[in-house]
């Protein structure tokens, strides 16, 4: 890889690290806000998965000689504040929390899809693809839970 390719790959991975950190923090907030024990457990599990994804990407960035991102994004921080505000207004209704959770997963889907459009080395592409599939599973599960909660 050329120096430019390495820098571009690191930049892409750092965006995904931020996205994973946002997911971790967002799922923790959602776990605090829901009343159902099964949702609390699900969200804490998802937060742990996001943490593991971020750590895996940080390791790759270090191997590439880069400085890995270690914080959430400004957008993620703003989204969590919006979730907090909305939760206060709606009384932390599980359906509202699931709505916000799905919205966060929509952002993650977008960032991973954009990353996969870039020319990543095969072994890194494989990691990103695997994490993207996890994001898609999370999104679909959250959406199904939200639809179920709405129907109740």
Domain with residue 111: its CATH number is 1.20.1260.10
Q: What is the tens place of the pLDDT at every residue in 109-144?
A: 999 999 999 999 999 999 999 999 999 999 999 999
Provide the number of structural domains found in the chain.
1
CA angle 62, 48, 85 (to 5 degrees): 110
Buried b (16+ CB within 10 A) or exposed e, 96-131: bbbbbbbebbebbbebbeebeeeebeeebeebbeeb
Q: What is the pLDDT of residue 3?
A: 83
- 101 neighbors 82 (Cβ within 8 angstroms): no
The stretch 90-110 carries a mean pLDDT of: 82
Please give the model's pTM, rounded to 2 decimal places.
0.85
- Position 84 pLDDT exceeds 80: no
Domain that holds residue 16: 3-151
- Output the furthest CA–CA distance in the chain (Å, rounded): 55
pLDDT digits (tens, 9 = 90+) for 44-82: 999 999 999 999 999 999 999 999 988 765 555 555 555
């Amino acid at each position: 890889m050329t120096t430019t390719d390495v820098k571009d790959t690191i930049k892409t991975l750092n965006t995904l690290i931020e996205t994973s950190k946002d997911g971790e923090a967002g799922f923790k907030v959602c776990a605090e806000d829901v009343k159902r024990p099964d949702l609390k457990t699900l969200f804490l599990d998802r937060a742990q998965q996001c943490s593991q994804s971020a750590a895996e990407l940080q390791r790759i960035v270090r191997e590439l000689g880069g400085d890995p991102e270690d914080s959430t994004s400004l957008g993620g921080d703003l989204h969590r504040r919006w979730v907090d505000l909305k939760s206060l207004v709606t009384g932390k209704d599980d359906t509202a929390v699931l709505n916000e959770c799905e919205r966060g997963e929509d952002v993650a889907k977008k960032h991973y899809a954009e990353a996969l459009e870039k020319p990543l080395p095969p072994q890194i592409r494989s990691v990103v693809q695997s994490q993207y599939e996890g994001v898609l599973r999370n999104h679909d599960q959250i959406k199904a839970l939200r639809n179920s909660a709405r129907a109740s």
